[in-house]
Structure 1
Amino acid sequence: MKPLRTLPLWLACAAQIALLTAPAVHAQGLRVSPAPSLPRAAAPADAGPRPADFIVAVVNSEPITNNEVRLRLLRYEQQLTQQGAALPPRAQLAREVVERLISERAQLHLARENGLRIDDLAVDQAEQTVARQNQVDVAELRRRLVADGLNVAQFREDLRNQLLLTRLRDRELEPRARVSEREIDEFLREQQAGRVDPALVELNLAHILVALPENATQIQLAQAQAKAQGLLARARAGEDFGKLARENSDAAGAASNSGLVGARTADRLPGLFVEAVRNLQPGGVSDIVRSAAGLHIVKLVERRQPGAQGLMVTQNRARHILLRPGPQLTEAQAVQRLADFKRRLQAGQADFAALAREHSQDGSSRTGGDLGWAGPGLFVPEFEDAINALAPGQLSDPIVSRFGVHLIQLVERRQAALGEREQREVARNLLRERKLDEAYATWAQEVRGRAFVELREPPLF
């Protein structure tokens, strides 16, 4: 059975939250990976018998259990290992996990106090996104979750909680992250003057992993080094790096993504990889570097400055019909109505522009739902994912976003140089993302400070 790919979702991992948040930043994959078996927690030598599970903390009358902490701890360790990052001491990471769980519980309590809720349809859509990113259908996703020891109902509840947190954070943080035209002007002047924040330089990387067990023997290490040296020599001799990764890399997903990590700003990449390519030119291949996961060979595919002129990007021209659920229209009814529109359009019984002008509850209704040309990062992730999955002329299924329910048609797709308007949008998104990060840290502390928190037993792991 082929394992599910990349970062874990179980119990609200950071990658999942990143996809479901940020209305105007780059869309990111929502994926799930198998859960490792849970090791039995050993009690200290001088401690008496402890139950298999116990309460570690209480947040507004809701408990956090030791098993929750252990499970989240294992996921974070797996994530850090896959990224090639150094693992902090386990006791330190456990404390951070407990604090993260406390913060999430406090935010969920606030969301429910404010009457926020997530319908089953939104959870269905998130589950379908997980399945699509892993190139399986929902039935197969669920089968694999069960085979990996995960409870499907709990998995869906975790998705619901993350969507709820996203909705709360969007509402609370959006006013704190507005970017003025003056700030954009200043940012662009700094870029033109060469004063580029290194953390904002975007790197497109690929890598090959030769895995090593945690306590590798000298023989295992020698075998891995020999394999890595051979692959490095072949890569530097001009062999196709993607083919080498597909056939030889032990990294999750390498067989399907050719070892590509993807284009990200340097502050969102493992420091080990950033350092490995620091002095490389695009197309260059690093020396072998070692992480907790094993030995890595990293290729710099592309390096680009934020908002650089002449950069080619993929632009999509789409149109949509938006229905906003409310007292007179439930989310399920909106989905059904848009599904009916799709059937009529595919049967040639209706015109998209006419339907949009008559029914869409969006400002674009005046132009038949036309959204114009848009580059990456201009739409909320679930909307952008739907567009990227379409071929020109195709219609999406109804999708749910925080704005409502959409029916989308991709009209055209093209490659275009980044113009002045697009440069300003890139700058706006970068500045906004930075403000969101800063605002979230302050806001999360405020929410945590207002919650009743009782720390009980320290976790065992």
Structure 2
Amino acid sequence: MNHLRSILTLACLASVATASGAQGTGITDIMRAGPRLAPAPTAAPRPPVPNVQRSAEYIVALVNSEPITNTEVQARAVRILRDNPEAARYSRQELMRLVLERLINERAQMQVAKEQGIRVDDIAIDQAEQTVARNNQVSVTDLRRRVAEEGLSQEQFRRELREQLTLIRLRDREIENKIKITDVEVDQFIRDQRSGTNAAIPPNINIAQLLVAVPESASDADVAKLQQRAQGLAQRARAGEDFTKLVQEFSDSPDRASGGAIGMRSAERYPQLLVEATQSTPVNGIAGPVRSAAGFHVLKLLAKSQPNSGDAVVTQTQVRHILLLNDAKRTTAESIAKLNQFKQQVQNGTADFAVLARDNSQDGSAKDGGDLGWARPGQFVPEFEEAMNRLAPGQTSDPLVSRFGVHLIQVVGRRDAKLSQAEQREAARAMLRQKRIAEATETWAQEVRARAYVEMREPPQS
């Protein structure tokens, strides 16, 4: 695998072109969406990383007396070039300048987080590491080995996970309460969308995938054979064979039992590789195979619709949960242990999930047995939604650590359904809110940068 798709990429790290801002914000209501965690391994093979000469170590900038070194800038530049080939259009001098500015912003924000006492414990880091491994379809052991091959020690990788999760929580606290979306704004947003003014809003799509996995140790001959196998399966699908049966029999993906369907959701919430591969594919058409870091994907476009149109359809999940809040009375480890006991009781049939939720959950859903209703994609914060989407109806999750506390999640059912008028309005409100959050985050990041004392030293060198 040439590139590990981690939460560092999709949750927080901005592109080089927007180095002056801060991207990837979360919000403090579990009924709304925040930054995306990496959904699936879709990074196409990357070109070789340019060889960057390592020059002598020295301080390039001070942020409130905290140093940033030339080595830090070099290391980030190398990773950006590896993960974002389009960054090669910048001159080396401009790239180093933009990377330095990004590091200054992050350092200033981390200092604010420290002042506010925001902390991310080791359990949350463990969970984040497991999520990265799962999204890359590798074990945690393999993930650690691949991280080392990319030049990061395990300590560095976990430190970066901690920093990015810390920044998410900081941005939650600093930005969330400032965003207010009025009914008038929602009405105008829907009118613009239906008239085509908001033509850039992506459609809702549902894609099913058949994955022919390519082991990292595969030789060129092995890869060629696997590609040929994927092409043969694509031909069988195009010839009219039942795609669901092909997936269930031949796919190497964990979702094969469900026929490989990912679910009806905004194209923005799909891996870019899958969206691009099916962009010109008609509904029920077959695309691929396309290559990703995980292997070869054969794709079927199951459905496509425009959000807030009369026929808008999404995959909804009926879900309930038990939430134990982060507080001084109980540690995260104690909350996990308690929820593990609840899960065991539910699985043994000695306790009912709804009763446990009613008696123990520390949020407003407790009175309803933890029921959060039928949820549309994007309604929950990413860490909650990612865990929910991995569950089949009737399954109960392991304890999930989120920015709010620790959850036990149970999926009751799933359905593809048209959104009601009220649901369409809430979906529109969420899209508008995300847009406003991105704008507010940019402004907030600039304010944090302006308040920091930054002393520029010798320019970074590559």
Bin for the TM-score computed over the shorter chain? 0.7 to 0.9
Equivalent residue, structure 2, for 1:125:
127
Equivalent residue, structure 1, for 2:451:
450
Q: Percent identity?
A: 46
Give the superposition deviation at 1:447: 0.5
Partner Cα separation in structure 1 for residue 97 and residue 300 of structure 2? 35
Q: 1:264 to 1:28 in 2, by over 3 A?
A: farther
Secondary structure of the residue aligned to 2:118 is: coil
Give the superposition deviation at 1:183: 1.1
Alpha carbons 2:49, 2:82 under 8 Å: kept:
no
Alpha carbons 1:30, 1:129 under 8 Å: kept:
no
Give the superposition deviation at 1:148: 3.5
Partner Cα separation in structure 2 for residue 418 and residue 331 of structure 1? 37
- Residue type of the alignment partner of 1:185: D
Partner Cα separation in structure 2 for residue 285 and residue 370 of structure 1? 37
Partner Cα separation in structure 2 for residue 161 and residue 26 of structure 1? 15
Q: 1:109 to 1:78 in 2, by over 3 A?
A: same
Give the superposition deviation at 1:325: 2.1
Partner Cα separation in structure 1 for residue 239 and residue 333 of structure 2? 52
Give the superposition deviation at 1:301: 8.8
TM-score under structure 2 length normalisation: 0.74
Equivalent residue, structure 2, for 1:220:
none
Alpha carbons 1:319, 1:371 under 8 Å: kept:
yes
- Alignment partner of 1:80 is 2:92: no
Alpha carbons 2:61, 2:454 under 8 Å: kept:
yes
Equivalent residue, structure 2, for 1:70:
74
Secondary structure of the residue aligned to 2:89 is: coil
The within-5 A match list for 1:178-327 is: 178-192=180-194, 194-202=195-203, 264-265=267-268, 304-327=305-328
The within-5 A match list for 1:143-158 is: 143-158=145-160
Alpha carbons 1:202, 1:303 under 8 Å: kept:
yes
Give the superposition deviation at 1:178: 2.2
Q: How many residues align?
A: 393
- Alignment partner of 1:29 is 2:38: yes
Question: Which of 138, 141, 162 is the equivalent residue of 1:139?
Answer: 141
Give the superposition deviation at 1:27: 3.9
Alpha carbons 2:326, 2:332 under 8 Å: kept:
yes
- Residue type of the alignment partner of 2:26: T
> Per-residue CA shift, 1:14-43, capped at 9, x if unaligned?
39x97773551574416798997673437x
Partner Cα separation in structure 2 for residue 321 and residue 39 of structure 1? 50
> Per-residue CA shift, 1:191-225, capped at 9, x if unaligned?
33x1432322338699xxxxxxxxxxxxxxxxxxx
Q: 1:97 to 1:433 in 2, by over 3 A?
A: same
> Per-residue CA shift, 1:400-450, capped at 9, x if unaligned?
111111000111111111221221122111101110111011100110111
The within-5 A match list for 1:426-437 is: 426-437=427-438
Give the superposition deviation at 1:73: 1.6
> Per-residue CA shift, 1:58-82, capped at 9, x if unaligned?
111221111221222222223332x
Equivalent residue, structure 2, for 1:351:
352
Q: 1:317 to 1:300 in 2, by over 3 A?
A: closer
Give the superposition deviation at 1:8: 8.3
Partner Cα separation in structure 1 for residue 436 and residue 201 of structure 2? 14
- Alignment partner of 1:109 is 2:103: no
- Residue type of the alignment partner of 1:29: A
Secondary structure of the residue aligned to 2:200 is: helix
Partner Cα separation in structure 2 for residue 380 and residue 137 of structure 1? 25
Partner Cα separation in structure 2 for residue 385 and residue 88 of structure 1? 35
Give the superposition deviation at 1:140: 2.3
- Residue type of the alignment partner of 1:341: F
Give the superposition deviation at 1:361: 0.3
Alpha carbons 1:392, 1:412 under 8 Å: kept:
yes
Equivalent residue, structure 1, for 2:95:
93
Partner Cα separation in structure 1 for residue 71 and residue 123 of structure 2? 29
Alpha carbons 1:325, 1:404 under 8 Å: kept:
yes
- Residue type of the alignment partner of 1:94: M
> Per-residue CA shift, 1:309-345, capped at 9, x if unaligned?
2122111001100001211111111111111111121
- Residue type of the alignment partner of 2:14: A
Alpha carbons 1:56, 1:65 under 8 Å: kept:
yes
Secondary structure of the residue aligned to 1:372 is: strand
- Name stretches of at least 5 consecutive residues in structure 2 with no aligned partner: 16-21, 208-230, 244-252, 288-298
Alpha carbons 1:60, 1:451 under 8 Å: kept:
yes
The within-5 A match list for 1:27-66 is: 27-29=36-38, 39-41=51-53, 51=56, 53-66=57-70
Partner Cα separation in structure 2 for residue 327 and residue 26 of structure 1? 27
Equivalent residue, structure 1, for 2:392:
391
Alpha carbons 1:19, 1:381 under 8 Å: kept:
no
The within-5 A match list for 1:399-438 is: 399-438=400-439
Q: 1:25 to 1:417 in 2, by over 3 A?
A: farther
Q: 1:77 to 1:198 in 2, by over 3 A?
A: farther
Partner Cα separation in structure 2 for residue 124 and residue 172 of structure 1? 26
Give the superposition deviation at 1:354: 1.1
Equivalent residue, structure 2, for 1:335:
336
> Per-residue CA shift, 1:219-268, capped at 9, x if unaligned?
xxxxxxxxxxxx9xx99xx789xx9xxxxxxxxx9xx999xxx95359x9
- Residue type of the alignment partner of 2:192: E
Partner Cα separation in structure 1 for residue 87 and residue 138 of structure 2? 29
- Residue type of the alignment partner of 2:436: K
Give the superposition deviation at 1:9: 3.6
Alpha carbons 2:5, 2:135 under 8 Å: kept:
no
Alpha carbons 2:6, 2:38 under 8 Å: kept:
no
> Per-residue CA shift, 1:257-283, capped at 9, x if unaligned?
99xxx95359x979xx79x97x99778
Alpha carbons 1:320, 1:371 under 8 Å: kept:
yes
Alpha carbons 1:55, 1:66 under 8 Å: kept:
yes
Alpha carbons 1:315, 1:375 under 8 Å: kept:
yes
- Residue type of the alignment partner of 2:68: I
Secondary structure of the residue aligned to 2:117 is: coil
Equivalent residue, structure 1, for 2:211:
none
Give the superposition deviation at 1:300: 9.4
> Per-residue CA shift, 1:95-115, capped at 9, x if unaligned?
211111101100000000011
